[in-house]
Structure 1
């Protein structure tokens, strides 16, 4: 279960990374299915660089999720991986909730509902699976204790 959950989280982070590279290539802000409003472009100097930065963050999140396949043995290293994981889970989970509210028309301040419902639903589904997998993997890693720690 731990391995499947961590690999699911890693796949979600890689899907995010790929989507950001595609948006960088196209010079677009936002998320797949959720284009940014035109006024958002005024505050971003280099759209491609911004999206490639987001893609790099996605790669980092994929690596952290991958570390949960077999959580590190050292207490401090595992603690750092878990801290970063829970921060990522909260960030991505907040994004899924926010974009879900936008898609449902419940949060007009976050932008107009997406023009392509199919792409938006797919992006939300990937995000939800990513968060769920990452949370299950993090909980599993939290409960594990190494034989070395048991000996202490």
Structure 2
């Protein structure tokens, strides 16, 4: 009896820990994202090799200050380690679509992808901060740095979410006796998350439109705009009602993405996906700091008081702290929910289209349940 229990536990452990992922084939968008992420990591590795040869800390064209350089006794070795990490990250990205990567256990590659995505997020934040977001610093090089960092972050997000979805085990249930159809039993949590975020945003804006001030003073806005909010100026009230209407549209779109309604036509499906991807991009960029407020600028304000005039220092620090702990995480969650929901909706729509094509081509077999 004991031997049987031990064998069962060992078998379960082997299936859970060592079972290969064998993901579903990746689409064109995912392969493009993997190529972009891999190229970005190889470029990063090449830059670090260049700095290792020079024996400096930092990136080409922007070496670290002398105070930072003095903290490293062997700068060449540190940069060589960073270059090797870039090569490893490139291999991790490639493993999500390559045949040899299907032999890697799912949990192992997911952990590597999560770590790489976090490091890529920090790298994108550093890139945006180094570029500078003020009008005085917004030159061509700064714009390219921001676009490159944002594209890398988006590529890692796409390939990570795609790998998670393509390797998730789906339920199999027969549709006509002998013809099995793979249907995902994963609850559309991302779509429901987008619905909840839209509902919360709309409820807050409705409270403001009716004269309330819930979280109004904690909203990071320029001083003039904040005063208009507190005075309930007519223009601000109109914007509140427009935001309520936009939140209702977002709630309806999230419900459609969740699969609560019958399949849509090509035009409506395209409009849903376009809106969801646009919302994902804008909200993630807002959370990171590429559109003004965000994690990067909040940290800059909190760590460098010289960035803000003394007369506005207290207000700016208060806004930055609230944005860091509340608004930026909210927008990041909102954007990720839109992206994941759109990806799941697209895959489900593609699977439904394939099933409809099979039934149209073989109507007798589909109705009789014979293959």
TM-score, length of structure 2 as denominator length: 0.34
Q: Check whether the contact 1:5–1:137 (CA below 8 A) recurs between aligned residues.
A: yes
5 Å-filtered alignment, 1:4-19, equals 4-19=32-47
2:126 aligned partner: 98
- Deviation (angstroms), 1:93: 1.1
Q: Whose RCO is larger (CA < 8 A, sep 6+)?
A: 1
Shift of residue 10 of structure 1?
0.8
1:42 shift after superposition: 1.3
Change (3 A) 1:33 1:91: same
What is the CA distance between 1:2 and its match in structure 2? 1.8
Instruction: Quote the residue 1:141 is aligned against.
Output: 163
Q: Is the 8 A contact 2:50 2:60 kept in 1?
A: no
Q: 1:145 to 1:57 in 2, by over 3 A?
A: closer
Q: Which residue of 2 aligns with 1:50?
A: 78
- Give the SS at the match of 2:149: helix
CA distance in 2 between partners of 1:53 and 1:98 (Å): 19
Distance 1:150 1:73, change over 3 A: farther
SS in 1 for 2:162: helix
C-alpha contact (below 8 Å) 2:48/2:79 kept by paired residues = yes
Give the superposition deviation at 1:25.
1.1
Residues 1:84 and 2:84 aligned together: no
Q: Is the 8 A contact 1:2 1:68 kept in 2?
A: no
Q: What is the deviation of 1:146?
A: 6.8
| Mapped partners of 2:61, 2:83: distance in 1 | 17
What SS class does the counterpart of residue 5 from structure 1 fall into?
helix
CA RMSD in angstroms, aligned pairs only: 2.8
Mean CA deviation greater in 125-134 or 15-24: 125-134
Structure 1: distance between partners of 2:56 and 2:151? 24
- For the pair 1:69 / 2:97, whether they are aligned, the reply is yes
**1:132 paired to 2:154:** yes
- CA deviation after TM superposition for structure 1 residue 121, in Å: 5.0
Unpaired stretches in structure 2, ≥5 consecutive residues = 1-28, 173-371
Q: Per the alignment, in what secondary structure is the counterpart of residue 14 of structure 1?
A: helix
SS in 2 for 1:43: coil
Instruction: Please give the TM-score of this superposition, normalised by the length of structure 1.
Output: 0.77
1:77-108 Cα distance to aligned partner (Å, 9 max, x none): 122112211211111212211331233178xx
Q: Does the 8 Å CA contact 1:12/1:129 hold for their aligned counterparts?
A: no
Q: Please give the alpha-carbon distance, in whole angstroms, between the structure 1 residues aligned to 2:143 and 2:78.
A: 24
The Cα of 1:123 is off from its aligned counterpart by: 4.5
Q: 1:18 to 1:24 in 2, by over 3 A?
A: same
In the alignment, is residue 21 of structure 1 matched against residue 42 of structure 2? no
- Unaligned ranges ≥5, structure 1: 107-112
Deviation at 1:133, TM superposition (A): 1.1
Conservation of the 8 A alpha-carbon contact between 1:32 and 1:123 = no
